[in-house]
Amino acid sequence: MAAVTTVRDVLYRYTFAHAVYERLIVDCSCHPQVARNVVALLLCFDRGTNQVISRLQGMSTTGLDHLVTEASHIIRCLNMRNLLTGPPTPLLSALCQDSRMDDPLFFPVNRDLIVRGVTDLLDGVCTLIFDNRLYHLLRRHQTGLVSRNPELEAPYAGVITTMPEDCRSMFVTFSLGQAVEREEIFSYFREIWGDCIVRVLMEKTTGGAQPMYGRVIFKRKGFVSLLLNGVEHASIFIRGREIWLHEYIPSNNSWNN
């Protein structure tokens, strides 16, 4: 019978990743969302080997800052509708020992795989990696302060966590007279990320008035994280019209389904 993987096993395996996450926040003053995206991106390129992450243990804060800059440029490119060439990533390429990343077409060609890999991680094992409370429990267990803990000994199934819709939604606002159709929003995100949206809701209006706001419900919370990447709002352009996306906060607004 195969041994059961526990939450504690997973936390041990990704101790380096959690340490990097903490360093990005404390030493590099990263926004937590940026730190999560960077670590998930590194783990995606790591392909489960733990080699890239382990190489960061002795890296200087200046080196980590450069790595965050490269990763942020990658994430910005992953969000672009017309991605023709990727950003230069000499440090990440060296860490991954993958010369293919030096090819300007590497990120346009592999965008779907990278985005899917990062969002799977963010909504999967990263829910444990970024849980400071669990790592606090683990440290207490390691020092003998806690002998046994049901949370740490719980089996880990390795499934992607399905977040409530409110957690994977974005509030969309339009300028006066600049609204776009819901199908156009669907098409925009399907073009850059594939099958990533559940549905788009729009404000109910009367008398032929255009909606002023809407709501985009993604299949994964990870898509919201990639789109915002540490900022309060992001903008996209559809037919030359700027659309603003914010973190969704539930209200009693009426929606047109």
Distance CA 110, CA 126 (A): 22
Predicted confidence at residue 253, as pLDDT, reads 59
Distance CA 66, CA 128 (A): 26
Distance CA 211, CA 254 (A): 11
Q: What is the pLDDT of residues 138-181, one digit of tens each?
A: 888 777 666 678 888 999 988 888 889 999 999 999 888 888 89
Average model confidence (pLDDT) across the chain: 90
Share of the chain above pLDDT 70, in %: 95
Predicted confidence at residue 14, as pLDDT, reads 94
**DSSP for residue 165:** G
Distance CA 172, CA 212 (A): 8
Least confident of 36-40, 80-84, 220-224: 80-84
Please enumerate in sequence order all residues whose Cβ is within 8 A of that of 159, keeping only pairs 6 or more positions apart, or say none: 124
| 196-203 CB contacts, 8 Å cutoff, 24+ apart | 196/220, 196/223, 198/165, 199/257, 201/255, 201/256, 201/257, 202/255, 202/256, 203/253, 203/254, 203/255, 203/256
**Number of separate helices (H) and strands (E) present in the chain:** 12, 6
Task: Report the 10 Å Cβ neighbour count for 195.
Answer: 9
What's the CATH architecture for 165-247? 2-Layer Sandwich (3.30)
Q: Delimit the domains of the chain by residue range.
A: 7-158, 165-247
3-state secondary structure at position 238: strand
Q: Comparing C-alpha atoms, which of 120, 148, 138, 123 is closest to residue 15?
A: 138
Write down the pTM of the prediction: 0.90
Give me the sign of the Cα torsion angle 150, 151, 153, 158.
positive
**DSSP for residue 183:** H
Q: What is the pLDDT of residues 71-113, one digit of tens each?
A: 999 999 999 988 999 999 999 999 988 888 989 999 999 999 9
